[in-house]
Amino acid sequence: MSAGTWLIGIVVVPAVATVLSYLFTSVVRRVATVVSGLATLALSVMVAVRVAGGGRVVAGTLFGADSLSGIFLLVTAFLYAATAIFSIGYLGGSRGMGELIGRVGQVVRQGASAGKDGDSEEASQQWAVSDRFDKRFFTGINIFCGAMSAALILSNLSLVWVAIEITTVVSALLVSLEDTDGASEAAWKYVIIASMGLGLSLLGVFVLYVAAAPVLGSSHALQIGYLAHVHGLARGTVELAFVLAVIGFGTKMGLAPMHTWLPDAHSEAPTPVSALLSGSLLAVSFYAILRFEQVTVLNVGNVFPHDVLLAFGVLSLLIAALFLLVQRDMKRMFAYSSVEHMGIIAIGAGFGVPIALAGVMLHVVSHGLAKGTAFFGAGSFKIKFGTKDISRISGGLTALPWSGSLLLAAVAALSALPPFALFRSEFMIVDGGLSAGQDLGVVVLLVLVTVAFAGLSWNTVKIILSPDRPNGPSMLAPGSPAISGSSGPSGGLGTGGGLDAGASQGGGHDSPGTAVSASVDGTIPPGSSDNSVIMPLEVAGSQGLCAWMVVPMLAGVVGLVLLGLHPPADFMRLVDSAARELTGRVAR
Amino acid sequence: MAVATVVSSPSAFTSIVTLFGVGVLVTEFLMLRAHLLRSQVRLYMVQSSLVAAVALATGIEQGNSGLYAVSALSFIIKVVIVPMVILRLMRVDSADLSQSAIMKLPSMLYIALVTAACGFFIGVPFRTASVIGRGTATAGNAVPIDIAIVLVAFTLIVLRRDVISQVAGFFSLENGITLFSISVARNMPFITDVATFFDLLVAAVVFGLLMRLHHMKTRTLSTHVLDRLKG
């Protein structure tokens, strides 16, 4: 199989999973999504290894990848696979089979028991709503990840824009999926603000075309492979295109002051979607900016693009650091942490020297791993405690020993503590800043990162390490209503058990499929009434489900340690090659 | 044939493109004061028809068959399908949007005028930067108007706080960018146009679904109520 075929596979595999998810049952959806995620990851690794030493893999004129694409492909594909696996636990792995059998049980019982028509009908409706949610979720996840992967390997800049715009509209629907007032509000703000930004970036694409067409010709003017090495474009036009791209794609990347949609969307989306938005989508938008930066550096010089990126980076870091100090919502806190890290990445790119750019590349991958893990942990806590409110959560490590420990590790990584990879990447960025003579920028970076560290670590310590308050709201009682207003996946599906003992206690609220609520020992909680017929099946299924939620977190933390202590040689070659691409020093 | 004769003259062609561009700008000003969903959608249809006409005229003048296709796709998708999707998803024809403005109409029009003037001056350098068809009377002359259209679309989104007007603003923004691309990037690969239209179609469906969700949740089309998420 040729390398070009791998690129086509990266687009085709999620497309097939999308069709399967839409057409078939929940079991098929899960299998298709996990297989697709893992296959995409395998293909991405193969592409990344192939381009690690430089050069470009192409499939016709439509698809192509270089080392820069390889870096972003790795993080996107990893999060695709991790999210697919986590979602099985998050949505309830036994939902498909368990609920189907349970539904049959209801129907059988209906024949034996008079006066239960209403209950049976209600259970049937719940099953239908649950199945609809399930179908939309997995179909949407596959389209979303497929579009992000496509954006990274499309050869034409205008098609990259189209793919990124598709990620916007699909992810807006995913954000609204839980059907709460907050989700609806967040989705609307997100789609309007991000679309306005992307409108500007489309203008930037056309302006770049105006600059490049006289030199490269109409058919090659927006081909990334040509743009990455072109000289002699009109300076003013390229500068305008770059600014439009930074503002436009920067809106999606979460750069301040265009970041306002980000905390809302990330906090209100279903947790697996939050992980993808934060770890992957922001990076994909940054990838688009880097493609413009390549052209700008070659034709305008270093100073202008680097100053623009530095300005946006410092502002983003400043705002995020201040807001991190006052956050009371766990997912919102991680959302602001994303703004912080996008600021660090922009500053690193603004330093512009090879060591800093290599640090930026490493930071993109490490942030994806750490933020995915952090959001997965936040999702587990939300299920366990029925809230995202930091002040109402305590004793996390006792309640969720695995998820709590891994969440703590993820936060330590996000705070750039050794031995995690973000320590290494931030060290490289600081080193680059000093070698570029940007002493003031380095000082600002270090001060603001320290402020952000204080906010993030203080809140996390409160959640995880503080003792459980005896009379606090803490954990949900078995069968108790959970996550008010949420009609999504979380509570009541027995997503815990197994590793994190007790995590399956998520109460039955009004969500689809929440007929299921029982304690880990299988006792039937009060108020479960007629739905008890399906409970043993669900609880039995839930005992092992926790592994679905813990394994992706464990993989993320292992990856962070590995990249921090001893990154694979091929990976570092890829990082160096991508940095050289950005400085225009790549060997041909 | 008559059209071809008329637009074959550079000055006539320039006049037609400029006239249609101004027409698009005028529809945006009318959108600022439209009070009903159906009015906004009709204005968008008129605006999109003018965009399709510009693409057709430019295609004839340049002998560019790709622009014929762009014109046809513009008409089918923007004048027929997108309005149909929006109206089918939002069955609230009589909803009054007049309260959604954040300031009085004269103030809004004044701001929009200033914005349009700024856009015009920003776009003037592009008249000489237009590279496709350089040396002829090209649609590049319309670039200042195109930029003005883009900026006024932003003011529409900002100044009207209802979901209908914001979506109309976004689609107007897209129309302005389409005009810009016709002016300066008319020889772009056709696949780009097709992909962009497909994207627009998807966006229309998603915007429609989210508008309907918003209306179901809040019983209003206003975005004033979207104030739960802060900080």
Interface test with B, best of A62, A175, A210 (most B CBs within 10 A): A210
Interface test with A, best of B181, B206, B214, B218 (most A CBs within 10 A): B206
CA separation, residue A131 to residues A81, A137, A368, A383, B42 (Å): 22, 10, 30, 20, 38
Residues 379-418 of A with CB under 8 A from B: none
From the list A500, A510, A501, A522, the residue with the least C-alpha distance to A480 is A510
From B225's Cα to the closest Cα of chain A, the distance in A is: 9
Ramachandran bin of B223, using left for φ above 0, alpha for ψ from -120 to 50, beta for the remaining angles: alpha
Angle at alpha carbon of residue A51, lines to A46 and A52, rounded to 5°: 95
- One digit per residue, the tens of pLDDT, for chain A of length 588 reads 688 899 999 999 999 999 999 998 889 999 999 999 999 999 999 999 999 988 889 998 899 999 999 999 999 999 999 999 999 988 874 444 444 445 445 544 554 454 445 555 666 656 666 888 899 999 999 999 999 999 999 999 999 999 999 999 899 999 999 888 889 999 999 999 999 999 899 999 999 998 898 899 888 889 999 998 899 998 888 999 999 999 999 999 999 999 999 999 999 999 999 999 999 999 999 999 999 999 999 999 999 999 999 999 999 999 999 999 998 899 999 999 999 999 999 999 999 999 999 999 999 999 999 999 999 999 988 888 888 888 888 888 888 888 899 999 999 999 999 999 999 999 999 999 999 999 999 999 999 999 999 999 988 888 888 776 655 555 554 444 333 333 444 433 333 445 554 444 433 333 333 333 333 333 333 333 333 322 322 333 333 347 889 999 999 999 999 999 999 999 999 999 999 988 875 443
Distance CA A210, CA A49 (A): 35
Query: What's the farthest any 2 CA atoms get from each other in chain B?
Result: 61
CA separation, residue A374 to residues A331, A378, A470, B211 (Å): 9, 6, 26, 32
**Any bridge partners for residue A58, and if so which?**
A64
Q: Report yes or no: A570 at the B interface, CB cutoff 8 Å.
A: no
Handedness of CA A535, A537, A542, A548 (dihedral sign): negative
Judge if the upstream peptide bond of residue A257 is cis by omega within 30 degrees of 0.
Answer: yes
Using CB atoms, pick whichever of B157, B199, B203 lies closest to residue A196: B157
Q: Do A206 and B166 touch (CB under 8 A)?
A: no
From B2's Cα to the closest Cα of chain A, the distance in A is: 30
Chain A residue numbers with beta carbons less than 8 Å from the beta carbon of B189 are 156, 218-219
Q: For chain B, which residues make up each domain, given as ranges?
A: 2-218
Chain B residue numbers with beta carbons less than 8 Å from the beta carbon of A170 are 206
Interface test with A, best of B151, B175, B217, B229 (most A CBs within 10 A): B229
Q: What is the pLDDT of residues B123-156, one digit of tens each?
A: 887 776 544 444 334 556 788 899 999 999 999 9
Q: Which residue of B has its CA nearest to A170?
A: B206
Q: Do the Cβ atoms of A331 and A378 come closer than 8 Å?
A: yes
CA distance between the termini of chain B: 61
From A398's Cα to the closest Cα of chain B, the distance in A is: 30
A371 Cβ partners below 8 Å, 6+ apart?
A275, A278, A279, A334, A337, A338, A341, A410, A414
Q: Which residue of A has its CA nearest to B128?
A: A210
From A132's Cα to the closest Cα of chain B, the distance in A is: 15
Chain B residue numbers with beta carbons less than 8 Å from the beta carbon of A188 are 163, 210, 214, 223, 226
Q: Tell me if ipTM is over 0.90.
A: no
Q: Do A185 and B173 touch (CB under 8 A)?
A: no
Quick one: DSSP state of residue A436?
T
Buried b (16+ CB within 10 A) or exposed e, A443-456: ebbeebbebbbebb
Distance CA B128, CA A23 (A): 53
CB pairs under 8 A between A and B: 118
Q: Mean pLDDT throughout B14-42?
A: 88
Using CB atoms, pick whichever of A156, A263, A323 lies closest to residue B192: A156
Using CB atoms, pick whichever of B173, B181, B202 lies closest to residue A169: B202
What does the pLDDT read at residue A303?
92
Token pair, residue A439, equals: 């002493």
Q: Mean pLDDT throughout B90-108?
A: 73
Judge if the upstream peptide bond of residue A419 is cis by omega within 30 degrees of 0.
Answer: yes
Quick one: DSSP state of residue A65?
E
Token pair, residue B179, equals: 């005009």
Query: Beta strand A57-59 with A63-65: parallel, antiparallel or unpaired?
Result: antiparallel
Distance CA B79, CA B41 (A): 9
Q: Do the Cβ atoms of A65 and A46 come closer than 8 Å?
A: no
Interface test with B, best of A159, A166, A202 (most B CBs within 10 A): A202
Q: For chain A, which residues make up each domain, given as ranges?
A: 1-155, 160-301, 302-464+556-588, 469-544
Under an 8 Å CB criterion, which residues of B touch A?
Answer: 125-126, 129-132, 150, 153-154, 157, 163, 166, 170, 173-174, 177, 180-181, 184-185, 187-189, 191-192, 195-196, 198-199, 202-203, 206-207, 209-210, 213-214, 217-218, 223, 226, 228-229, 231
Strand ranges, E, within A98-192: none
Buried b (16+ CB within 10 A) or exposed e, A124-161: eebbeebbebbbbbbbbbbbbbbbbbbbbbbbbbbbbb
